[in-house]
Chain A
Amino acid sequence: MISSKWIKTAVIAAGLGAMVAAAAAGAASEAKGKYYAIKTCKPCHGAGSPNGEVTPLIHTSAQWKAYFAAGKHDKGKEELTKYLTKAQLADVEAFFVNHASDSPQPMTCGG
């Protein structure tokens, strides 16, 4: 005989699981976006690069949204999809938008 306590626990767990699944479905991943940005963008756009350093801080969140909506790289000469898939670009966009120049920034002694 399963006690009502276990039934309640199972129902709550199922509910939380459904919430998480609903939240995860289709949502862009900021963590993955940071990973792709470091692996794909930073090699050519690191600090001191002649191509210009690219970090989330160089644009506002609105500017990043416009940039990814246009989907162009190298001043419009090529598609961003040359480097990342659309799903990966959505992740990178989430990372850049959420850490843009108009978002809260880390405050450490190293600036």
Chain B
Amino acid sequence: MRKVVLAGLMVALLMPVGLMAQTNEDLMKQIEALKQQLQSLEAKVAAQEKAVAQEQAAPAPAPALEKEVSNLDARLSKVEVKTSEDRINWGGDLRVGYGYQNWHINPYQQFSGFNPQTHMPMFQQVPGQDWNNSMDWSLRMRLTMNAKVNDNLKFMGRLTMYQLYGGADVPVFNGSPNTVLDSFDSASVPNSDVLHVERALMVYHFTNIPFSFAIGRMNTSDGPPLEIRNESERDGTPMAIMVNAEVDGVHAEYGLKDLGFPDGTTIGMCAGVGYEAGFGGGGQTAESYTMTPFGMARINGMRDSKVIGLIYDMPLMWMAGNTVNSAELILGYNRFNDMTDIPYGALINFPIPGPYAQPSPQYVTATKNLGDMDQYGLTWEHHIGDNFVYFVSGGYIKSHPNGQVSAYGFGGLLGDPNHSQTGSAYYTGVRWKATPKWTLGAEFNHGSKRWYTFTPSAGEESDKLAARGDVWEGYVHWNFNKNVMLKMGYIHYDYSTAYSGWQIAPTNLDSLNLGNNPQLFYPFPKTVKNAYVMLEARF
């Protein structure tokens, strides 16, 4: 054994000294590296043990907390169930109004019948008069609703109740067509505490093209620029100076952005029915109809009254300095075909003259188709910053009479059954939000002596935008709390020509100047002064 050890020592002594030293250093390095790895592993193990210890030492959820989470889950489930079951989203507004009215009627000649011998009309000279209504309370409730039927189809609607204080016995009809209660203004003529369907339509948005189609009772009342005066969002499609009515119809709209127009620009086409003539409509049934004592067909030889229209809507937005400007340009055209003389409707408590006469609902209906009419309109709204907006709106009409006159004795289209006549109007105004709570506004509109527009849903005693003459209005809105405002205003009408609002007149409108002692079937005011205060809450 000793020999072996000695032999090993000999070999070692014979090895180069340098090689021996290098091997030792490598071993030392490896040992150091192993030590470091060992320390690292020990640190990791310690950290894991610490984490496990902390996890094991963490307190269990308190029973109260578990109960609270359970309660929240139960309550949230109820909300989710309720939300999923709510098919319709509701909103609306409530408005209480107080008004004062003064009507001044210039001297005129009242039609009083026909002379039995000569059969010539007779007239009674009536002196100038002033009529006052010092207290005129009204209540209007509107419930708006919408529902998402699916990703493409949406339902929209509005139910409205509008009545004067004092119940349904209040005489409302005053000679203006917007006080004849019919299907086009049932929500805008104060009548009773019944909820009327003002709007109910479906809107279908196609998926891959900027096209929508709507059908039903359309959003065709309170259109631009009336939202400025109402201090609200846009509330209808057609310009108020052209159509302000509850119209049953269809509307197709195409977005023009992809064609290079400003974002939001649309071109729309709409159609509606103004009068349904029943089986008399196309004339086919009438031609083959056999008259019997109890025949059900309503044969009056009349045709359906239809309207078709185009509307171009272009929003604009730009920054000037540090002020954002936004504007809306709207162009419109409507063609009314086979217009009738009188709408089918009810005159709420027609004021039958005489000391013992009982006012009662009086039903009227159309008697003749009088011809066609073209209507053109333009509106420009310009918002400067957050607080100032002005608008300009204009309209132009041209009649195409067919020679027919109303069986009621109210003549033909625009008082001339044989020749085309034209009329025009403009409407302008400003609104300034002086402070977050106070808003001031002023408006003016003028209609020529033959101006006519289809605006029965004006919702006022006198239809402002249908006036033949000048109308001034000033108003102050006090937004004293969120979604609540007090509206105070004054409207002054100065009429030039009788039969404002009507598409018919018994004689040429040139002879119906209210300042020239005209011959009239019933009195028309020369001036109307209307002061109002309204409290309105939106929800």
Contacts and interface: CB of A to CB of B under 8 A. Distances in A.
A109 B434 contact: no
A110 B213 CA distance: 7
A76 to B, nearest CB: 22
Contact of B385 (A16, A19, A29, A111): A29
A30 B386 contact: yes
A20 B205 contact: no
Interface string A39-73: 00000000000000000000000000000000000
A35 B203 contact: no
5 contacts: A34-B324, A107-B234, A110-B214, A110-B237, A111-B203
Interface centre among A23, A32, A110 (most CB of B within 10 A): A110
A49 to B, nearest CB: 14
A14 interface: no
Contact of A104 (B232, B237, B266): B232
A16 B270 CA distance: 45
> 7 closest pairs, A vs B, by CB?
A111-B203, A109-B251, A31-B324, A109-B237, A106-B234, A106-B233, A23-B435
A22 interface: yes
A54 B222 CA distance: 29
B386 A31 contact: yes
Contact of B436 (A23, A31, A35): A23
Given A20-B387, A23-B435, A111-B156, A104 B326 contact: no
Contacts of B473: none
A85 interface: no
B443 interface: no
Contacts of A106: 233-235
A35 B236 contact: no
B128 interface: no
Interface string B115-147: 000000000000000000000000000001010
Q: Give the contact-size bracket for chain A.
A: 20 to 34
A107 B436 CA distance: 24
Q: Give the contact-size bracket for chain B.
A: 35 or more
Given A24-B387, A34-B326, 12 more contacts: A19-B434, A20-B435, A29-B324, A35-B324, A35-B326, A104-B538, A106-B233, A106-B235, A107-B236, A109-B220, A109-B237, A110-B237
B304 interface: no
A33 B309 CA distance: 35
Contacts of A104: 91, 232-233, 538
B201 interface: yes
Interface centre among B144, B146, B324, B434 (most CB of A within 10 A): B324
B268 A109 contact: yes
Interface of A: 16, 19-20, 22-24, 27, 29-32, 34-35, 38, 104-111
B11 interface: no
B58 interface: no
A89 B520 CA distance: 63
B458 interface: no
Contacts, number: 83
Contacts of B219: 107-109
B213 to A, nearest CB: 9
A34 B326 CA distance: 10
B169 interface: no
Interface string B299-335: 0000000000000000001010000101000000000
B487 interface: no
A29 B326 CA distance: 13
Nearest to A22: B435
B205 A31 contact: no
Contacts of A29: 324, 385-386
A105 B227 CA distance: 12
Interface string B252-288: 0100000000010010101000000000000000000
Contacts of A109: 201, 203, 214, 218-220, 237, 251, 253, 268, 270
A85 B29 CA distance: 58
A94 to B, nearest CB: 9
Interface string B161-193: 000000000000000000000000000000000
A16 B439 CA distance: 12
Main secondary structure of the interface of A (DSSP, over half): helix
A110 B144 contact: no
B435 A19 contact: yes
B290 to A, nearest CB: 43
Nearest to A35: B324
A100 to B, nearest CB: 13
A19 B319 CA distance: 24
A43 to B, nearest CB: 11
Nearest to A28: B386
B180 to A, nearest CB: 25
A7 B237 CA distance: 46
A110 B268 contact: yes
A29 B268 CA distance: 32
Given A22-B435, A31-B386, A108 B234 contact: yes
Nearest to B91: A104
Contacts of B234: 106-108
B324 A111 contact: no
Interface in B363-392: 383, 385-387
B236 A110 contact: no
B266 A110 contact: yes
B529 interface: no
B154 interface: yes
A64 B233 CA distance: 20
B214 A111 contact: yes
Contacts of B199: 107
Nearest to A46: B263
Interface string B212-248: 1010001110000000000011111100000000000
Given A34-B317, A107-B235, A23 B326 contact: no
A59 to B, nearest CB: 14
